[in-house]
Amino acid sequence: MTQILTLEKRTALTGIGFVTPTVLIIALILIYPIIQSIVLSFGQSSIDGFEPYRFVGLDHYSKLMGDSRFWNALGVTFTFTALSIPLELMFGIGLALLMNETFKFKGWARLAVLFPWALPTALNTLIWRWMYNSDYGLFNAVALQSGLVERPINFLGDDVLAMVAMVVVAVWKTSSFMALIILAGLQSIPRDLFEAGRIDGMNRWTEFTQITLPLLKGPILVALIIRSMDALRTFELPFNLTDGGPAAATESLSLYAYKVIFDFLDFNFGAAIVVVQFLVIFTMSLVYVFALRNKD
């Protein structure tokens, strides 16, 4: 019996068919909007379509270059990322090492590590906002009552402290996620290596630096990539914690873009900001992918 379509051809057709729904959705929701944002950023139009689209070239971009608020947002975003990532990494590794040991209440420990990740960032941020409250917050209460300070600290009202506060919330929430990824890497290190190391005379510190850390390079890199992408896009954290304040000290790029688009209703200028943000992240992801390539 001969077939009109060979197994090979049918495989290819099935493959295309199976992949199509996903490709369609991704094209619709992810790819097309980016392209459209780029187009928007090169022009001027109104949201209700009363004025037709006018091509204005790089007008918005040059405006962007001279916009101090933009540069502030960029700086805020980078500062936030640069501060939170190393801390998250450190705590993540520490947590992972901890979780790798066997002990009785492992279930609770695992839950403790998972809960922060599972919380909606937006709501989590509200909780912290309440704890940071300068009049009634938990932190000030503890600080005052233990005699650490004499007057309540205005965490969210001071530009430096607000950034610190934001970083703390981020680190609290995502160290656990880092820990999980690194834990996976930890668990793939064969036990024999540690035993050989012990025979060779390693103590816990040398064990860590000579065996664990080098073999964790891969997972650490993966965790770094994911987290820094997220940090550069941070939105709901400043939105709910400080609304970008005080005086835009915590206004991330995403937040600024959002305000331009939905508060000022300037879609085109907002699109320019958004495209710049996209380019920054895209470049960073390329850098990372490159670094990953060379690792293997």
Partner 1 sequence: MKSSPRFGLYFLVLLTVVISFFPIIWLILTSFKNTAGIYAWPIQYWPDPFTFENYISIFNNSPELLRYILNSFIVGVGCTAITLMCGGIAAYALSRLRLRFAGVMMVGILAVSMFPPVSLLPSLFQNFLNFGLLNTYTGLILAHAGLFLPFSVWMLASYFATLPVEIEEAAKMDGMGFVRIFLTIILPLSWPGFVATGLIVFIFSWNEFPLALVLMTQNAMRTAPVGISLYPGEYAFPWETISTATVLAIIPVLIITAIFQKQIVGGLTAGAGK
Partner 2 sequence: MANVTLNQIGKSYGKDTAVENFNLEIEDGEFLVLLGPSGCGKSTTLRMIAGLESITTGELSIGGIRMNETDPKDRGVAMVFQNYALYPHKSVFDNMAMALKLQKIPKAEIEKRVNDVSDLLGLNDYLERKPAALSGGQRQRVAIGRAIVRTPEVFLFDEPLSNLDAKLRVKMRMELQELHKRIGVTSIYVTHDQVEAMTLADRIVILDGGKVAQIGSPRDVYDYPATEFVAGFIGSPAMNFLPAVQSESGWRITGSDLLLPHPEGLATKSETVTLGIRPEHIEVITVVADPDAWVIEATVKLDELLGADALLNLSVQGFDLLARVSGTDFPEAGSKVHIRMDPARIHGFDPATGLALSREPISER
Contacting positions for partner 2 (CB under 8 A):
1-3, 6-8
Backbone angles phi, psi at 290, to 5 degrees: -60, -50
- How far is the C-alpha of 284 from the C-alpha of 278, rounded, in Å? 10
Residue of 5, 82, 90, 98 interacting with partner 1 (CB under 8 A): 98
Residue 33 interface partner, choices partner 2, partner 1, none, CB cut-off 5-8 Å depending on type: partner 1
- Least distance in Å: CB of 127 to partner 1? 5
The residue (of 6 and 62) whose beta carbon lies closer to partner 2 is 6
Whole-number minimum distance, CB 12 to partner 2, in Å? 12
Sites for partner 1 among residues 197-256 (CB under 8 A) = 219, 222-223, 229, 232-233, 235-236, 239-240, 254
Closest separation in Å from C-beta 4 to partner 2: 9
CB of 274 to partner 1, least distance (A): 4
Structure tokens that stand for 207 in this block: 């064990």
Candidates 229, 195, 225; CA nearest to 211 is 195
Applying CB under 8 A, the span of 50-58, 67-75, 80-88, 108-116 interacting with partner 1 comes to 108-116
| Helical H segments across the chain, by residue range | 7-26, 32-41, 59-65, 68-100, 106-118, 121-132, 138-145, 159-187, 191-200, 204-206, 213-215, 217-232, 236-241, 253-258, 267-295
Q: How many residues touch partner 1 (CB under 8 A)?
A: 91
Residue with smaller CB distance to partner 1, 161 or 222 = 222
Quick one: 61 or 172, whose CB is closer to partner 1? 172
CA gap 286, 9 in Å, rounded: 35
Q: Does 14 bind partner 1 (CB under 8 A)?
A: yes
| Contact (Cβ atoms closer than 8 angstroms) between residue 227 and residue 178 | yes
What are the beta bridge partners of residue 54?
Answer: 44
Give the shortest CB-170-to-partner 1 separation in angstroms. 13
d(CA 72, CA 175) in angstroms, rounded, equals 27
Rule CB under 8 A: say whether 103 interacts with partner 1: yes
Residue 171 C-alpha from the chain's centroid: 11
Separation CA 189–CA 193 (nearest Å): 8
Task: Compose the 174-193 pattern: x for residues touching partner 1 by CB under 8 A, - for all others.
Answer: --xx--xx-xxx-x------
Residue 82 as a binder of partner 1 (CB under 8 A): the answer is no
Between the alpha carbon of residue 36 and those of residues 43, 51, 107, 221, the distances in Å are: 11, 17, 47, 32
> Rounded to the nearest whole angstrom, what is the least distance from the CB of residue 8 to partner 2 in the complex?
5
State the binding partner of 6 from partner 2, partner 1, none, CB within 5 to 8 A by kind. partner 2
19 binds partner 1 (CB under 8 A): yes
